[in-house]
Amino acid sequence: MRIATQKVVHIHYTLTNDEGEVLDSSRDHGPLAYLHGAGNIIPGLENALTDRVVGDSFKITIAPEDAYGLRDDDLVQSVPKSAFQGVDEILPGMQFQAQSPEGLQLLTVLGVDEDEVILLDGNHPMAGIALTFDVEITDIRDATAEELDHGHVHGGGGHHH
């Protein structure tokens, strides 16, 4: 069976940046399961997996445009500390979720100054980074009707309801 739309695919992967630093890996917690064609993984990796079979292994570098996008300086903004009611201490590196027109957005604190202003970055933490995946395909199967309806894998490395 080949990887195609509406197939559930299980992969082991190790993700590294340009410096070879490991950013993430499935090796310690079992393969990642995703529904091919449903946008569950970044487009560049999904495209590279199309038409492959169980047992295939490959290494690929995905450009930022096909991963988490380029950095957008317009997504960096200053916000008054009063916008964080109930948060005692705000430090660089902390992350918060905010509602945006596109849905939930992850915001990372870049800095805090004495004037009660917080600099927030709405870019994905991996935006602007070329990502290298070392991938091994471990299983492919047809998706169930429920998985197709929900747009993601259920159980066994996927989503659990």
pLDDT in tens, 71-101: 999 989 998 888 888 888 888 999 988 888 8
Domains and CATH numbers, the chain: 7-68+127-150 (3.10.50.40), 73-121 (2.40.10.330)
The average confidence (pLDDT) of the chain is 91
Please determine, for residue 159, whether its predicted confidence score (pLDDT) is greater than 60: no
Please determine, for residue 102, whether its predicted confidence score (pLDDT) is greater than 90: no
Rounded distance, CA 121 to CA 109, Å?
A: 6
pTM greater than the 0.95 cutoff:
no
Percent of the chain past pLDDT 70, that is, above it, reads 96
Residue-level pLDDT at 161 = 47
Residue-level pLDDT at 157 = 56
Strand, helix or coil for residue 59: strand
**pLDDT band at residue 2, thresholds of 50, 70 and 90?**
very high
Q: What is the pLDDT of residues 14-45, one digit of tens each?
A: 999 999 999 999 998 999 999 999 999 999 99
Residue-level pLDDT at 113 = 85
Residue 139 burial by CB count (10 A; 0-12/13-18/19+): exposed, middle or buried? middle
DSSP state of 158: S
Output the CA angle 51-52-53, nearest 5 degrees: 125
Q: Retrieve residue 152's tokens.
A: 């993601």
Residue-level pLDDT at 21 = 95
Rounded distance, CA 40 to CA 44, Å?
A: 12
Contact between 138 and 13 under an 8 Å Cβ cutoff? The reply is no
